[in-house]
């Protein structure tokens, strides 16, 4: 779906404070991604230029929590913790435990709950490279984490280590995936970014991996968000290509070849979902480059240093933390957020003439 013109709001300022957060195109903003550090213990070749340290400051956990509370009062229902590598951040388990005490503020029809009503618990998810997950999966699950996504760009341990630039990383991540499954965080989602000529040999092995390991494998098209800025359209392995490769693939146990499409779980689902003829395994394909889904975007992001971003590809971000530091009340922060969100971009312009790179790279935004 493409968006053209902003929709005029029929509501006064006083009325709109009772309404859930929407942008000027009428999109309800229900999902928050929050980066708790931009440090990372992996140096994935397409993401980081090689430096592990932080480029931006980290806020105290209490400050992230205050921002989330204000955003939840405006309509946020899902919070995904990310980075950098979020498992490097001290206080992460406590952050999850505090998030698990928060409840949503709106009914499904978009009206605000009355003060005596209690909303649903937040949906709390984590995106991690999995390197430190083996020991943290159980405490995070006990604190209230609902779901985990582990990034893995190969199932071949050698290719994996070549991408992460960390020896024996595959074994560590697999131990993390198993620990997450044992801690009840399944079905674990595995995110794989495919780069032509680098790890596109891994499509069929990942399909087998999904079937054997009971994980949902999601292929993500490569976007122009790396520190080294080497993105080229030719490097992107598109959804159509992945589908055609997997349609021709025959699962080893005598099951006929061919993907079977699964229905979307929600209207704003970013992945097209598939299984195989016997219903074993699940493949998702997220295609922001070849099949953009901006029309359904329900997200905002907070960076590790407390900037609010309305799109991965924003040309600038908004200093929410600055508003807090200057003594803004919760109500003032809420007004600031409403105002910023009214300027959320209609869509990204990847691959179009005149495309401008965003003001930050993926690792400093929070993927
Ligand atoms: N360290 C955590 C991890 O590895 O999942 C969280 C941060 S990482 C930046 C989040 C996700 O962004 C990873 O799945 C990574 O593969 C993905 N990513 C990084 N650069 C990307 C790019 N240029 N295009 C698409 N996805 C990208």
Domains of the chain by residue range: 13-365
For residue 88, give the 3-state DSSP assignment. Answer: helix
pLDDT tens-digit map of 160-185? 999 999 999 999 999 999 999 999 99
168: left (phi over 0), alpha (psi -120 to 50) or beta: left
**Residue 267 to residue 113: CA distance in whole angstroms:** 23
Question: pLDDT-based confidence at 135, cuts 50/70/90?
Answer: very high
Determine the atom of ligand 1 nearest the C-alpha atom of 193.
16
Ligand 1 binding residues, C-beta < 6 A: 40, 46-47, 82-83, 85, 127-129, 151, 191, 193, 220, 222-223, 225-226, 362-363, 367
User: Ligand 1, from 37, 89, 150, 151: best to mutate by most atoms within 8 Å of Cβ?
Assistant: 151
pLDDT (0 to 100) of residue 257? 94
Rounding to the nearest 10 degrees, give the CA dihedral for residues 138, 139, 140, 143.
120
More confident residue, 61 or 3: 61
pLDDT tens digits, 29-77: 999 999 999 999 999 999 987 666 888 999 999 999 999 999 999 999 9
What's the pTM value of the predicted model, to 2 decimals?
0.94
Alpha-carbon distance 206 to 284, whole Å? 11
Rg of the chain on CA atoms, in Å? 20
Mean pLDDT of 238-246: 98
CA–CA gap between residue 326 and residue 188 (Å, rounded) = 41
Give residue 199's pLDDT band: very low, low, confident or very high (50, 70, 90). Answer: very high
Among 213, 219, 220, CA closest to 180 = 213
The region that residue 297 occupies, defined by phi over 0 for left and psi between -120 and 50 for alpha, beta otherwise, is beta
Q: Is the pLDDT score of 95 beyond 70?
A: yes
Q: How confident is the model at residue 9 (pLDDT cuts 50, 70, 90)?
A: low
Q: Which CATH class is domain 13-365?
A: alpha beta
* Mean pLDDT score across all residues of the chain: 93
Nearest CA to ligand 1 atom 12: 367
Does residue 16 carry a pLDDT above 80?
no
Residue 12 has pLDDT above 80, yes or no: no
For a pocket test of ligand 1, which of 216, 304, 362 has the largest count of ligand atoms closer than 8 A to its C-beta? 362
The answer to whether 155 touches 209, Cβ cutoff 8 Å, is yes
On the question of pLDDT at 79 being above 60, the answer is yes
Please name which of 287, 247, 282, 289 lies closest in space to residue 270, comparing C-alpha atoms.
Answer: 287
pLDDT digits (tens, 9 = 90+) for 314-365: 999 999 999 999 999 999 999 999 999 999 999 999 988 888 888 888 999 9
* pLDDT higher than 90, residue 81: yes
Pocket test for ligand 1, best of 39, 43, 47 (most atoms within 8 A of CB): 47
Nearest to 88 by CA among 124, 50, 44, 53: 53
Residue 367 pLDDT: 80
Q: Is 275 exposed, middle or buried (0-12, 13-18, 19+ CB in 10 A)?
A: middle
Q: Note the pLDDT of residue 227.
A: 77
Atom of ligand 1 nearest to the CA of 191: 14
Res. 80: pLDDT tops 70: yes
* Lowest-confidence segment of 188-197, 249-258, 272-281, 306-315 by average pLDDT: 249-258
């Amino acid at each position: 779906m493409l968006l053209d013109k902003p929709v005029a709001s029929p509501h006064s300022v006083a009325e709109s404070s009772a309404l859930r957060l929407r942008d000027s195109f009428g999109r309800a903003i229900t999902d928050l991604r929050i980066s708790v550090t931009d440090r990372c213990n992996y140096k994935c070749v397409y993401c980081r230029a090689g430096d592990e340290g932080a480029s931006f400051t980290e806020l105290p956990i209490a400050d992230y929590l205050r921002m989330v509370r204000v955003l939840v009062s405006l309509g946020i229902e899902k919070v995904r913790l990310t980075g950098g590598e979020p498992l490097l951040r001290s206080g992460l388990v406590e952050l999850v435990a505090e998030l698990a005490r928060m409840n949503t503020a709106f009914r499904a029809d978009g009206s605000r709950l009355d003060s005596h009503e209690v909303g649903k618990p937040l949906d709390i998810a984590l995106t991690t490279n999995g390197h430190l997950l083996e020991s943290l999966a159980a405490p995070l699950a006990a604190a209230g984490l609902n779901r985990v996504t582990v990034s893995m760009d190969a199932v071949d341990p050698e290719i994996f280590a070549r991408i992460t630039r960390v020896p024996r990383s595959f074994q560590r991540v697999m131990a993390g995936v198993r620990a997450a499954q044992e801690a009840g965080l399944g079905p674990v989602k595995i995110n794989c970014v495919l780069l032509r000529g680098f790890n596109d040999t891994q499509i069929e092995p990942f399909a087998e991996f999904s079937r054997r390991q009971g994980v949902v494998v999601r292929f993500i098209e490569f976007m122009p968000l790396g520190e080294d800025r080497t993105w080229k359209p030719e490097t992107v392995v598109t959804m159509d290509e992945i589908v055609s490769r997997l349609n021709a693939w025959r699962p080893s146990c005598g099951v006929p070849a061919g993907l079977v499409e699964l229905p979307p779980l929600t209207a704003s689902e970013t992945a097209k979902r598939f299984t195989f003829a016997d219903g074993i395994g699940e493949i998702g394909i997220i295609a922001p480059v070849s099949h953009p889904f901006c029309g359904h975007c329900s997200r905002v992001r907070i960076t590790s240093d407390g900037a609010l971003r309305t799109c991965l590809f924003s040309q600038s971000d908004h200093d929410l933390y600055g508003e807090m530091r200057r003594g803004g009340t919760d109500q003032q922060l809420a007004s600031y957020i409403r105002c910023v969100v009214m300027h959320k971009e209609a869509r990204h312009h990847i691959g179009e003439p005149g495309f401008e790179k965003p003001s930050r790279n993926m690792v400093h935004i929070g993927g």
